[in-house]
Amino acid sequence: MFARFRHFARTLPQAALLAALPVAAIAAGEVDFVQSVEPAGLDPTVSSPVAAGQVTWQNLFEGLVAIDRDGRIVPQLATDWTISEDRLTYTFNLRPDVTFHNGTPFDSGTAKFSIERIVADDSTNGQKALYTDIAAVEAPDPQTLVLTLSRPSSDLLYWLGFPAAVMVEEGSADTNGTDPVGTGPFKLDEWRKGDRVIMSAWDGYWGDPAPLDTITARFIADPQAQAAALQSGQVDIASELGAPELFAQFAEDPKFATNVGTGEMEVVAGMNNARAPFDNVRVRRALMMAIDRDALIQAVKSGYGTPIGSHFSPASPYYTDLTGEYPYDPEAARALLAEAGYPNGFEFTFKVPNRTYAQRSAEILQAFFQQIGVTANIVSSDFPAAWIQEVFTDTDYDMTIIGHAEPLDIGIYARDPYYFNYDSDAFDAAMQDVATATDEAARKAAYIRAQEILADDLPALFLYSDPKLGVWDAGLEGVWPDGPVPANDMTEVRWSE
Amino acid sequence: MLAVESLRVTFRRDRAPPVEVLRGVSLTLERGATLGIVGESGSGKSVLALSVIGLLPRNARAEGRVLLDGTDLLTLSERGMRDVRGRRIGMIFQEPMTALNPAMRVGVQIAEGLRVRRGLSRGNARTEALRLLDRVQIPQAGRRIDSYPHEMSGGERQRVGIAIALALEPDLLIADEPTTALDVTVQAGILDILGDLVADLGLSLILISHDLGVIARLADRTLVMHRGAEIEQDATERVLRRPGHDYTRTLIDAMPRRARATLEAGRA
Amino acid sequence: MRRVPATLWIGAALSLLFVGAALLSRVWTPADPTGMNIAARLKGPGEAGLLGADQIGRDVLSIVMAGAWTSLGIALTATAIGGAVGTATGMAAAAGRGGFERAVMAANGVLFAFPPILSAILLGALLGPGAGTAILAIGLFMVPVFARIARGAALQVWSRDFIKAARMAGKGPVRISIEHVLPNISAQIIVQFAIQTGLAILAEAGLSFLGMGVAPPNPSWGRMLSEAQTYLSSAPHLVLAPGLAIAGAVLGLNLLGDGLRDLTDPRRGQAA
Amino acid sequence: MRKLRYLGRRLAGLLGILGIASLAIFLLIEAAPGDPAQIMLGTGAQPDTVAALRAELGLDRPLPLRYLAWLGGVFTGDLGMSYTYGTPVAELIGQRLVVTLPLTAMATLLAVAVALPLGVMAAQNPNRIVDSLATAFSQIGIAVPNFWIGLLLILGVSLGLGWFPTGGFPGWRAGALPALSALVLPAIALAIPQAAVLTRVTRAAVIEVSNEDFIRTARAKGLSRRRALWRHTVPNALLPVVTMLGLQIPFLISGAVLVENVFTLPGIGTLAYQALSQRDLIVVQNVVLFFAVIVLGVNLLVDALYILLDPRLRGSG
């Protein structure tokens, strides 16, 4: 009875709406994907790279190389490349007959401009630090680009596949934030700020045209609203559903395809290693052992997520499982705390960004710490503004909690200054070995050593890796299941016949 | 023409026993005659007037009979009563400052009854309103017709009040303390107009006042009321000259000496 | 003796219920309002506690009770501060007149120009979210309200004869304000206090909803609602309890205020 | 004439208040911790990159200069460029206004449409069921937070019945109907507390005016109760209602911030909130100033309406 009423109730206003709408409002080649954060500008080479890249990377902008859905480096605007014996010179052969959306041809001159712009003194590229080993850029002929490094950087090729290193051209570089001009298969139609970015297929694309005619990024911060938009068909893809607790209902629904993918986001509780008692490694270990990471994931992420023991997530090719290093053991934690000189525990201020996952995790950590006699006083911090100022810039904090979304970003622990105030010669050496590794095995070994040092030193409490909970219309193919790069690559997405 | 028979009015009150404000009053009024009702404030004069025109507050209950040409007004429906108000009985109120709608031009207020009850066109109603303003001796009526009440003096407003009451040419006019709120100099003018109307149009008039001087000027008969009851009722001359009751006498004594003198003079 | 209006009874009873719950929560709640229980998460009313459990398995009834303490505490403190400052400036404006009065009224105009939530968000940005910020922001927006009412009421008192007498007796404006004006306007201020406390609860809930309220684990009705939005379809009970608590507390205080006004001002009592 | 001078004086006072408000806004936002350049660049950026961006945004100029530049821009109609979006602030506000303005207008219309008849009916039938219902509605409506109403509407109407979207805004280009239907529930949530306040004021005002002498005069003309009500009582009772509408503007805006948040509408409230958390200072300054202008402007408008509604204030001649 109720069901019938609901059906009637549902169809009534819809019929009225449909009658009023122009026909063919829904084209076959159209996809709307949801994204929780709206980028400040659409240019991934300036300002907030993650959100901008999630909209435009691969769709609008392309790089010399790209990272594919499996995390591999693949050629893009460079067809192939050679690396010199001393690993200091990279020579790229560039793809001919590539033009930007505004008709400007892509050649080694534009590539040189793009790279030099990243490393310039007045560069406003947020990821500049990754590319500063590039000492010189040369363009000996239109199809050849030569990069000379000041020291070996084994990850450089990987970084060049990143949103922060996409190719732009000089004439439009300054306005890419609002009016992006790239070489990708889609071009910008309209950006309705606060709501959506609409992109449509560009007929001048150098490669195979994308199957879709139109793609739209919809910015919906609230997880409930994301789920509702999916259910009502207003959006087709949520590659990272914000509400894990709603995921199960989509998994049961045949209208949707779901996938629990691995993501690159590691949630860690960073500590101020320069401040007592967090300068004491035994205290840090005791706190780590006070936490039942599985229970935490259950509570915060409805069980979707993987405990981590160090800074890499299982999505990383160099991941090694170190969760066994300091497992949940409140008894041992209490003992270790006493050994460190805090038999009665201590009290500290827990500066938590006012974001749901952080607040929720902090509340649970607070309860765990209480079990070993440590009192955490939670202070909300307005994110990002106040948090970045207080924690990141001023490092005026005891403990905080935040997700690190950039892949292969373990190097942040070697940075000085960085908000952990962590200083370890052994770790710095391991990172040096990563940079100078001449083969993949040596590189992997160095990365694993770096992870092991962190897992033992615990400059931060390593909590969990965020899953990439993908939900999309069951009629869609080609959606990225995992997230080796935070992106919504729509270039291979199609509606199945 | 009008006969009120043992009219009782009681007010219901919240959380208190009902109170009786009229305790059986009777009166009769001939066509073209003027009845004065006198009494101190709270004596039930106004309630009596409101019962006749059927505008008692909601919590009031009237018993008895109010016969207008043989029809008991108390038994009339609201719709029936609406035909009586304005057309058969017009009423003039005490406070010219508050008795007019402050947000409406006076001409419109006069014309409103004509338009609603008579169905006159806007233009015809305006012409008629202009005539009425002339009738109540508003100078420069053509200009003043578009004034708002606050732009007029008290006397002028009271004249507008009379014009409103006259608009539908009623047979009976009830004037409830029409001059009390006015300056002495203005009072006379208003009373003159009322007197002229009775004389020229053959109206019946019920004139309510606490001021015997006012009553004495116009009323053929006078009803003296006290605490909701009739004290005496007779020809005005008789009541004033040979008050049949102590209360009437105190009313006469309370009059200013000069007014009493005029009264004496008038009597003489 | 006038009869006590029914609204006053209902208002007083509702207000007492919430004050009682707030006080009780300091010594007893059915369960630990901060104690999580993963096994019970999102369980409905009856399955886990009287009002169910939240997303980390805390007992909803216990958090709502403890939330009363937070909510009432912030609202009362903010209104008390705003009320005291506002009343004092309003009385001073009435006593001082002239330029001072104009300055006070202009300052009120500036405060009035900022929509309350917006000024609270601005303050939140400046001071960081937390109870102190909420109290300050809400209190600040109470100031012009009380100032206006106190000034209006005080001006009426100042025009009365006994003030003239006091002035002729050589009393200064400060002394007159305290001895004569304050007692005569206190009834109006108290009535306004009850109503403004209700508004303060609404404002606090709004701030917490936007993540600008007290820090966890201090329970807060507004934050409960903001968290409940995520579970709207899977656990609707989470959205009902805190909302009803807010509405009930505000309703109680409003009725209390209206009832008090009817009691102290017979003219209004009849009109209402 | 007198009235014109009065309105002129009001306008001057208003500009003074806006001047003080603008300085307060500017200083408050400047004093808040958080560097827009650092926020835009994220946690990966090095200090020299941040410094470069600060220079590019003009954030390295001295404080008084930036304030004066902003104020000068406001007077010439140039509100500056958003740090984060990189678009003119005026354009940004305009884009958001096409959501917030219809939203608040719909809410106000809805509130008036409910409150006026309800308040009048309640006043006409004291102590009857209508009156009790109206009183209950106004008491409860004032007490419930509008964002909670929003949540309940999403729960019951959107998720339950499947009517109207749960949030988001398709844009006016998608057609008037989809756009309006996205605003229906938020407008209802916003309208209910407003309607409650207005019902209360209307009821009290109508009761008060009903007891005026001129209503008796009108009835004595033989006017029906209904005509006396709509021609005489209601026009005179509108004054306090209009006043209350003006006084409610700050609350309406506050409510819009919350309701836009619940329904994820890209309105000006969301813009203010978002820009502040991004420390897009120039946007925050302008939006807050804009709201102040609206609040004060509406109150000036209410004053003007007063003069229109009450001829006594119009002055003769």
Q: Hey, where are the domains in chain A?
A: 29-35+185-262+470-495, 50-175, 266-465
| Cβ-defined contact of C122 to D28 (cutoff 8 Å) | yes
User: Could you tell me the fold of the domain covering B2-88+173-266?
Assistant: Rossmann fold (3.40.50)
3-state secondary structure of A2: helix
- C-alpha dihedral, C196 to C199 to C205 to C206, nearest 10°: -130
Residue of A226, A302, A354 best to disrupt the C interface, most CBs of C under 10 A: A354
Rg (CA), chain B: 19
**Is the Cβ pair C225, D24 closer than 8 Å?**
no
CA distance C118 to chain D (A): 7
Mutate to test the interface with D, among A14, A121, A127, A195 (most CBs of D within 10 A): A195
CB atoms near residue D129 (< 10 Å): 9
Confidence at residue C106, expressed as pLDDT on a 0 to 100 scale? 79
CB-based contacts of B252: which residues, under 8 Å, 6+ apart?
B212, B240, B243, B260, B263
In 10 A of CB B118, how many CB atoms? 17
Residue recorded with tokens 């002055």 = D315
pLDDT at B209 over 70: yes
CB A40 to CB D277 under 8 A? no
Q: What is the mean pLDDT of residues D213-232?
A: 88
- Note the helical H segments in A391-439: 425-436
Listed in sequence order, the DSSP H helices in A372-424 are 385-387
Mean of the pLDDT values across residues B220-228? 89
For A455, the token pair is: 């897992």
Distance, CA of A311 to CA of A321 (rounded, Å): 10
Report B:168-197 residues touching D (Cβ under 8 A): 168
How, if at all, do strands B204-209 and A134-141 pair? unpaired
**Residue A261's closest CA among A71, A57, A62, A403?**
A71
- Does the domain made of A266-465 have the CATH classification 3.10.105.10? yes
B233 three-state secondary structure: strand
Mapped onto helix, strand or coil, the DSSP state of residue A419 is coil
Spell out which residues of chain D touch residue A270, defining contact as CB-CB under 8 Å.
none
Q: CA–CA distance from A309 to each of A146, A255, A285, A288, A317 (Å)?
A: 40, 37, 12, 9, 16
CB atoms within 10 A of CB A12: 13
Q: How far apart are CA A47 and CA D50, in angstroms?
A: 10
* D103 vs A: CB within 8 A: no
Q: Minimal Cα distance from D239: which residue of B?
A: B103
Comparison of pLDDT for B210 and A92, the residue scoring more:
A92
Size of chain C in residues: 272
Q: Name the architecture of domain A29-35+185-262+470-495.
A: 3-Layer(aba) Sandwich (3.40)
Q: What is the pLDDT along chain C (272 residues), one digit of tens a residue?
A: 456 778 889 989 999 999 999 898 888 888 888 777 777 777 788 777 788 888 777 888 888 999 999 999 999 999 999 999 999 999 998 888 778 888 887 788 788 778 888 888 888 888 888 888 899 989 988 898 899 889 888 988 888 888 888 888 888 888 888 888 888 898 889 888 988 999 999 999 998 898 888 877 788 899 889 888 878 877 888 899 999 999 999 999 999 988 888 887 655 444 33
Within 8 A by CB and 6+ apart from C11, the residues are C194, C251, C252, C253, C254, C255, C256, C257, C258, C259
User: Which pLDDT belongs to residue C202?
Assistant: 92
End-to-end, the C-alpha distance of chain B in Å comes to 31
Determine the residue among C122, C225, C240 to mutate to test chain D binding: the one whose Cβ has the most chain D Cβ atoms within 10 Å.
Answer: C122
Between D140, D249, D261, which is nearest C247 by CB? D140
Q: What are phi and psi of A146, to 5 degrees?
A: -120, 125
Q: Does the pLDDT at position A151 exceed 80?
A: yes
Say if residue A11's pLDDT is above 60. Answer: no
| pLDDT at B257 (0 to 100) | 67
The position carrying tokens 């952990």 is A420
pLDDT in tens, A424-435: 999 999 999 998
Tell me the C-alpha distance between C157 and C164, whole Å.
10
Of D101, D10, D78, nearest to D286 by C-alpha is: D78
What sign results for the dihedral spanned by CA atoms B159, B164, B165, B167?
positive
Scan for tokens 């705003």, then name that residue: C82
List chains touching A (3+ CB pairs under 8 A): C, D
Quick: pLDDT tens for B118-169. 888 999 999 999 999 988 888 888 888 998 888 888 888 888 988 998 888 8
A211: helix, strand or coil:
coil
pLDDT at A152 over 70: yes
CB contact under 8 A, A194 and D96: yes
Rounded distance, CA D233 to CA D214, Å? 9
Q: Contact at 8 Å (CB) between C121 and C150? A: no
- Tell me the mean pLDDT in the region D266-275: 86
At how many degrees (to 10) do helices A293-301 and A356-371 cross? 150
Cβ-Cβ pairs closer than 8 A, C with D, add up to 138
Give the DSSP H or E segment for B140. Answer: none
Judge whether D222 and B87 are in contact, CB under 8 Å.
yes
Q: What mean pLDDT, rounded, does chain A reach? A: 88
Q: Which of A224, A300, A380 sits opposite C129 (nearest CB)?
A: A380
SS3 A101: coil
Closest CA of chain A from D287, distance in Å: 15
- Could you tell me if A207 and A59 are in contact, meaning their C-beta atoms sit under 8 angstroms apart? no
Residue with tokens 């306040």: D197
**In this model, does residue A403 exceed pLDDT 70?**
yes
First to last CA, chain D: 9
Mean pLDDT of D188-198: 94
Give me the mean pLDDT over the D76-93 stretch: 85
Amino acid at A164: A
All residues of chain D having their beta carbon less than 8 Å from the beta carbon of residue A9 are 161-163
CB within 8 Å: B164 and D309: no
Per-residue confidence band for D221, with pLDDT thresholds at 50, 70 and 90: confident
CA torsion angle for A451, A457, A461, A464 (degrees, to 10)? 20
HSE at residue A483, side-chain half, CA atoms within 13 A, is: 29
**Cβ contacts of D279 within 8 Å, gap of 6 or more:** A385, C125, D32, D34, D35, D36, D39, D83
| Mean pLDDT confidence for A119-148 | 92
pLDDT value for B255? 74
Q: What is the mean pLDDT of chain D?
A: 86
A217: which strand partners? A33, A197
* pLDDT band for position B263 (cuts 50, 70, 90): low
Residue A267 tokens, joined: 């949630």
For residue A22, pLDDT over 50 is answered with: no
Report d(CA A64, CA A90) in Å as an integer: 12
Q: Sorting pLDDT into bands at 50, 70 and 90, what band is A492?
A: very high
Beta strands B71-72 and A306-307 are unpaired
- Dihedral angle computed from the Cα positions of residues A417, A423, A429 and A430, in that order, rounded to the nearest 10 degrees: -90
Residue A451 has pLDDT above 70, yes or no: yes
Q: What is the pLDDT of residue A337?
A: 95
Contact A393 D38 (CB under 8 A): yes
Partners of residue B160 in chain D, C-beta under 8 Å: none
User: What number does CATH give the domain D89-277?
Assistant: 1.10.3720.10
CA distance B50 to chain D (A): 9
Q: Which residue has the higher pLDDT, A444 or C264?
A: A444
At D315, the pLDDT band (50, 70, 90 cuts) reads low
- Domain extent listing, chain D: 2-76, 89-277
CB A276 within 8 A of CB A340: no
Nearest CB partner across the interface for C125, out of A363, A366, A385: A385
Q: Is A358 exposed, middle or buried (0-12, 13-18, 19+ CB in 10 A)?
A: buried
pLDDT at A199 over 70: yes
How many other C-beta atoms lie within 10 A of the C-beta of residue B10? 18
Number of H helices, E strands in chain A: 13, 20
Cα separation, A195 vs A189, in Å, equals 14
Instruction: State the alpha helices, DSSP H only, in A65-181.
Output: 108-119, 156-160
CA distance A269 to A283: 14
Contact indicator for A43, A177 with CB cutoff of 8 Å = yes
Q: Give the CB-side neighbour count of residue C266, counting CA atoms within 13 A.
A: 4
Q: Check: CB of residue D50 under 8 Å from CB of residue D35.
A: yes
**DSSP result, A130-187:** GGTTEEEEEEEETTEEEEEESS--TTHHHHHTSGGG----TTTGGGTTTS---SSSEE
Give the whole-number percent of chain D exceeding pLDDT 70.
97
Amino acid at A82: T
Nearest CA in chain C to A226: C230
Please name the residue ranges forming H helices in A293-379: 293-301, 330-339, 356-371
Taken in order of first residue, the domains within chain C and their CATH numbers are 10-24+53-266 (1.10.3720.10)
pLDDT at residue A3 in the model:
40
Strand ranges inside A245-372, DSSP E: 256-270, 306-307, 347-353
For residue B21, what are its two tokens? 């404000």
d(CA A107, CA A91): 14
Rounded to two decimals, what is the model's pTM? 0.82
Q: Is A32 helix (H, G, I), strand (E, B) or coil?
A: strand
Residue B33 CA to residue B222 CA, distance in Å, equals 11
The pLDDT of residue D306 is 78
Contact A409, A365 (CB under 8 A): no
Q: Please tell me which residue of chain B has the smallest CA distance to D212.
A: B98
Report the alpha-carbon distance of residue C79 to residue D301 in Å, rounded: 30
The CATH number for A50-175, chosen from 3.90.76.10, 3.40.50.2300, 3.30.110.30, 2.30.110.10, is 3.90.76.10
CA B64 to chain centre: 21
Average pLDDT value for residue range B180-191: 83
Q: For residue D291, count other CB atoms closer than 10 A to its CB.
A: 26
**Dihedral sign of CA atoms D154, D157, D161, D167 in order:** negative
Compute the distance between CA of residue A55 and CA of residue A101 in angstroms, rounded to an integer: 17
Name which of D20, D127, D148, D258 to mutate to probe chain C: the one with the most chain C Cβ atoms within 10 A of its Cβ: D148
